[in-house]
Every structure is written in structure tokens, then in C-alpha cells.
A and B are shown apart, each in its own frame.
Chain A
């Protein structure tokens, strides 16, 4: 049992809560994870390593993920913030205070919106509190108000109240009460954090906490500013007034906060009420939003067994900015496109097949009717299957194209012709300078291997759309076992519209070629397809390699055997696999990676599209 057993459902859970894919990280130790560690709001949730029994562990992870997803990074500023306050918000200490206040807000959000998770959450907080309390050294190092704040962040309904009787505790409790309502927003956390920051500054300036707290508690009192005019207005008031004050009255508001947050957040409140539009609130988070992670084993041929949960595949939906990509491909390869289509059309199935003698159908089956009448007249039991119907005889295929996006695919597809030396050195003739600079020699952009590969899969995809066969276009690359990049150009469920073509167009050379995990991931995606025939076609330009793919960088065998294993595993799941390479040395390693009829080395890169179409036909014919 391990994290892997809960990973998938946890990822789905997080995605449902957040409304968008969420990358969940696995911490090396519990200390790396919230609540044992003060996390950065809005960062990818980090769950603790596996411990105890699976169900308990799952609930722990669920509570951690839920809580972390409810935290949001601090907005860079609030409307009407004065430059002084904005600067204060940039400090490291402020970030820490904000993180703790945001923790408190998230905990309270769980209470309001996800009451079913309270028990696990409180158990976590209690556990973290006891560890934190016993770590006295850690506590001495920071300001008493921060200790009180951390303590408040770990507060649960079962915490003994006696722990919270110091003046600092009272102050913190008072200030953070504004993030407790069910409609509290990150802006409220910022306000609370600013007040705490101001208190700390005021204390350093020699004011007594008692005095400041009294002022805090006198809600209706006049603005209490600290250190001249740069402090925080501790009175009530509306944000409008505050904006009008244009920063002269200082920073933020505190007081009867419910009223304020209602005003500032009237619009977003609707969303928050509508089940917390976390996705929208988190859109500014540091981690890229469209990443999903998956963990796969890797085959270590040196020891002859799998390395468990060895590779992390990071899946990303590509977004392109070239809506004209497919149009461009169609125009450039008109003739080729027609050829590919006519090749593929050869196997277009008969749409409908007449089936005779059915009990229901479009028309009467005259032969059957005559027989039935004859039977009836002669007294024999008559067959009542008297109709003809036309049934579909469709093919049922799903194909995944897996394109190698390693750095080497940026090399030119056709080696450039050596430039003819200019007959006369233009530098000898000053008059020619101008024209040279104005009209640089027109040159075709160099077509790279990746461009040919993209054109090839695009042409194939375009043709398959006509046939109605399902397909997906993926790319892969990455650096190291923890970052195998898996890019989605078009997924099976995507429509072939401008957006998905433009995503295919956005495929570009990246880093290394860790094939094994990419094949496993593509196979997993294919396996989830309902089609009867499944095809995985990999297009690469070299042998599998990565920074840590094997004993060292030159350990070719490791990657080769791992890829071979991944391909074999895919085959055992009923997936037809095929490797296409344009690497002339491909025979050497492909022969070892897969059987002879499962790979093809292409000499002429430009013939890739047609080879792909032929291959598709052959594969389907053999799969039948």
C-alpha cells in the first residue's frame, strides 16, 4: 500500500473541488506538509507520505488537499492601497502572517462548507499543535504575536481554552475573527494580516499591546494610527470612503468586518456562495493550472524488476496561438493530403448492411412474407421475422499518436544546402550596402524534424476525422524521472476544432526522451477508450535517453529495455503498438525494443506522412 493507491481518486477529488486540474505533490516527510509546516497559500497541495492504514491515510490526504485548495495567494494589492501599504505587503514577514491568516480562513471555510471533513481536519491540527508545542526552540525565535497567530491557526474545537489566554492570543483572536464568516475572502485575510503586521510594528516602536488591543476592541473609536500617518486605520467604514481617502489615512480597515466584506465582495460573494468558485480565485496561483500528475513504475533491467512509483508524468493540455495551423498544413500539402485520404478511404466501411428476416425493420422482407403466408395456409407455424433492416457496420478504432518532442527534433529535417559563396564581396562595393540591408535574401524557413512530424500527424488526423475514427495526438519529453512531460495536442474526447489544431501546432522541441513512462501514460489513456481496436503509434527521432534514465547518461540499455517493457505491457492490454523513427541508427535499438513488424525506420523524413497512412492501414488490416 502506498500513496499510489489513493492518488487517482484524490486527484479527481481535488479537481472536483477546485474546478480545474490540480497537481498534488507527495512530501518526503510529514514536516514538509501543512499543517505541520506553514504552507504557501495557493500552492500545489503537498500530502504527507504513506502511514498507517490506507483508509485513514486517504482521509488525512483528503483533508490536507481540501484545506490547501481553499487557500489563495495574497492579492498583490487591494483597491485603494497606498504605496506604503503595498510595500509592506511585499515583505517576507507579511507573507508569513498572511499564510497563517489564510490558514485560519480556510479552516473556517471547511467548517462552513465542508462539514464532513471537520473531524479529520481537527485531528490533523491537534497533531500538528502537539508537535509544534513541544518544539520550544522554534517558538522562541519569533515574535509573540506570531506565536499566537500560529497557535490560532492550529486551534480546534477541542483545544483547551487555557492555551489561549494571553494578551497576544486575545488580540489575534479578535483580528482574525474577520476571516471567519462563511463569505470571507482572501481580501479579508490581507486586511487582517495588515493589522497584525501593524501591531507588530507598533509594539516594536514601544507601544504596549494592552493599549493597542483596547483600541482594537473599541470598534467605534476614531482611527488609531501608528507611527504617524502610515499605520492602519482601525475603525469601521466603507471601502468607498476608504478609497476616497486616497491612502492619506493609511492602509486598511478593521472593525465590524462583516459589513465591509459584504460591500467589497458583493459580486464575488455570489460565487463564493455558489459553492466556492475556487478555480477562479486560485487562477493566479503559482503552479500552472492545467497540470495533472501521474506516477508510473519503471523497469530496471539491471536488477530485473520494476522500480515502484518511479516516474512522475506531468500531463499538460497545450494551448496554441496559431489558429491557422491546420489550414496552413492543408495548403502546403494539398497533393499529399489527397493521397492520404484516398489511401485511407480504401477501407472506409460500408455504412449500412441489409439484414434480412428481422422481427423489426424498415421494410417488409418479401421472401419471408411469402414463406410465412404459405406456411400459415398449410397450417405450419409461421415465422414472424418478416422485416429487412439496415444495420451499421462501423469500424471501432482509437489511435494515439505519440510524438517525440526531444530537443533533437529541432534539427533541420533536410540538411541545408551549403550556401554558394557570393561572387563579389558586397563589402567591396559601398553602393550595395543599402539594398542588402533593405532586402535580406528571401529564404524558406528551415523545416525541422518536429515540423515534419507535426504536419504528418495533422494530415493523418485530418483524414481520420473524415473517416470518423477516434484519435489523439500527444507529445512527450521531460527532464528527469520526476518531470516526464506529456503534452496533449488533441485528446480523444476533444473535437478537431481550431483550438485543438492550434494546440497540435504548439508542439515544440523540449528536452529529453524518456520513452517508457510516456508510452505507459499513452497506453493508460488508450486503455480507457472503449474502442475495439487500439493503436499506439510513436514517432521519434532517436533512442530513449534522459538525465537519469539508467546508471548514467550513457546507459542506453536501461532506457531501451524500459521502453521495450512498456511497449510489451501495452500490447498485453490489447493495444497494437508501433514505433516510427527517422533515426538512421534506429535499426540498432528498435530491433531490441520491439519485434520486426512493429517498427519502421524512415530514411526520408518528408515521406513520414505517407508512411504513417500506410502504416495505419496495415495495422488495422492486421488487427482485424
Chain B
């Protein structure tokens, strides 16, 4: 069976494999929708491991990761959180956008990321030694987080970092073709639309059009939608609610497609 498609842009696969072999935790840096999650999925498939993905959000606490007591009938039941399960079973645990989560989560992962490789669960007074195959992967988007949400050096320095950027136009077009089967020329035009809007990064656009959005647009085109309409739906409307910004992105699509 084919695994999730991933087009290596540089040597990230080799770095990741080396980190897995050395049991070192990995930090993926890069903007939204540039392929970080896909990369982890691809690597888990390639290395034949299970993957637990946790999308972090600002109210995500250590409890949500480690586990909590639940009430069941007349008694309380301990329920492992996703991180604890991964530690016990030896799968990849991917904490997506980890800086979004509350600070107490970073403390939890510290002991997992150094030579100890243990998870301490204070509520059950248990110390879980990580399975040999367990690997912690976190992702982080240096682009839009505020100062407060920066990753602390004490956390950052525990990880092997792999930096991601948006692919070049050629590579992005290749990805679009592979993902959706759209024709080369359209894929290239879509990729150019993406590259152009990324130039608007600072003007009220938190993020440029991601590869993911381009893939959506390509899917719509493959389904028979007219390219401009597809881009309108998948890119222009998705990227901003600001009328002028939509107009500008719409204009870019408009001049690039014949």
C-alpha cells in the first residue's frame, strides 16, 4: 500500500531517520500548511510506527496530554492521555503547534526529551519509562506567534530541529500534480499564485496561501470547476476576510490564469 505522499525538499528525511535511530526528539519549524504534519505521517508510515497526533490549542493543559480521572458509575477511573499512551506503546507522538498549549505542558515533556525518557504522572504517582520506539515530535510556527508564545530556549534546545519552508514553485507544482492529478500547467499556475500571495505576508495576512490550500484548489479544478472559481473558493475566501485583501489575491489569480 502506498503511504502518504511526501516530496522531500532537502535532506529532512535523512535527518529525521537519524534522529529516530538515536532516539532524539524532533522539532519541526515552519509556516502553516507547508507539509509538517504530512511529513510526520509519511515518516511514521515509512518507519512502520504508529502515530498519535495532538493538535495543541491555547487551553490544552498537561492533564489533556497525560490523562485524568474520570467518573464511571460510583468510582473514578484513570484514563491515559494521548501522550501517556504513546509513551507506553512506543509510537510517535506529534504535538502540533506546541507553543499554543499552556506552559505546564512543556514541563511535562522535558523529562521525556533528555536521557531519562520518562513521563511522570503525579496524579497516579507513577513514572513511566518510555518504550524504546517512542519518539516525541513537536511542531512550531515561528512566523506568527507573539513574544509570549515563543518557544523557550530551554525547551527548544532539547530537540533536533528541522526547518520547513514552502516548496519552490517547481516542487509545489509537482506536489499538486501528485496529490490531485491536476495537469502540469495548471499546477504551475497555482503554485505561482501561492508564491505571489506569500509576498503579502505582513500586510494583514498572517500567513500566505499554504500548500494545503493550493491542493484544495487543485482538487476543485480536477472536479471540473473553472480555475478562477476554484481559486476564489479555495484561496481567496480562505485567506482573509478583508475585502481589499481578497480583491488583491483575486487579482493575482485573475492575471495568472489565462
Partner-B contacts on A (CB < 8 A): 8-13, 15-20, 62, 66, 110, 113-118, 273-275, 279, 361-364, 369, 372-373, 386, 389-392, 465, 468, 470, 493, 495-496, 528
Contacts and interface: CB of A to CB of B under 8 A. Distances in A.
Contact of A528 (B168, B204, B254): B204
B69 A362 contact: no
Contacts of A364: 69, 71, 76
Contact of A117 (B63, B196, B202, B255): B255
A125 to B, nearest CB: 16
A273 B71 CA distance: 61
Contact of B255 (A66, A363, A465): A66
A275 B195 contact: yes
B190 to A, nearest CB: 11
Given A16-B196, A115-B258, A392-B58, A274 B247 contact: no
Interface in B14-59: 58-59
B203 interface: yes
Contact of A16 (B71, B76, B243, B248): B248
A12 B244 contact: yes
Given A20-B199, A116-B257, A274-B195, 13 more contacts: A9-B251, A10-B248, A16-B197, A16-B199, A18-B199, A19-B196, A113-B256, A115-B258, A116-B253, A273-B169, A361-B63, A362-B68, A389-B61
A361 B74 CA distance: 19
B68 A363 contact: yes
Contacts of A12: 200, 203, 244-245, 247-249
B71 A386 contact: yes
B252 interface: yes
Interface of B: 58-59, 61-63, 68-69, 71, 74, 76, 144, 146-148, 168-170, 191-192, 195-197, 199-200, 202-204, 243-245, 247-249, 251-258
A118 B255 CA distance: 8
Contacts of A113: 192, 256
Contacts, number: 102
B149 to A, nearest CB: 9
Contacts of B68: 362-363
Contacts of A391: 59
A605 B256 CA distance: 56
A493 B76 CA distance: 46
Nearest to B250: A9
Contact of B256 (A114, A361, A493, A495): A114
B255 to A, nearest CB: 4
Contact of A114 (B76, B148, B255): B255
Question: Among A16, A361, A362, which residue has the most Cβ atoms of chain B within 10 A?
Answer: A16
A369 B71 contact: yes
B74 A373 contact: yes
A274 B256 contact: no
Given A19-B199, A362-B61, A468 B147 contact: yes
Contact of A274 (B63, B74, B169, B253): B169
Contacts of B147: 465, 468, 495-496
A372 B146 CA distance: 42
A468 B195 contact: no
Residue with the greatest number of chain B CB neighbours at <10 A, chosen from A363, A372, A496: A363
Contacts of A10: 248
The 8 nearest A-B residue pairs measured at CB? A12-B248, A9-B247, A115-B258, A8-B244, A362-B63, A117-B255, A114-B255, A19-B199
8 contacts: A9-B244, A13-B247, A15-B199, A16-B196, A273-B169, A369-B71, A373-B74, A390-B61
Contacts of A390: 61
A321 to B, nearest CB: 22
B146 A468 contact: yes
A118 B247 CA distance: 19
A267 B205 CA distance: 31
Which of A10, A11, A362 is the most central at the interface, judged by chain B CB atoms within 10 Å of its CB?
Answer: A362
B249 A16 contact: yes
B146 to A, nearest CB: 7
Contacts of B258: 115-116, 118
A465 B244 CA distance: 31
A62 B251 CA distance: 8
B252 A13 contact: yes
A17 B74 contact: no
Determine which residue in A13, A20, A364, A496 has the highest number of CB atoms from chain B within 10 A of its CB, and name it: A13
Contact of A13 (B63, B69, B74, B251): B251
Contacts of A279: 199
Nearest to B69: A364
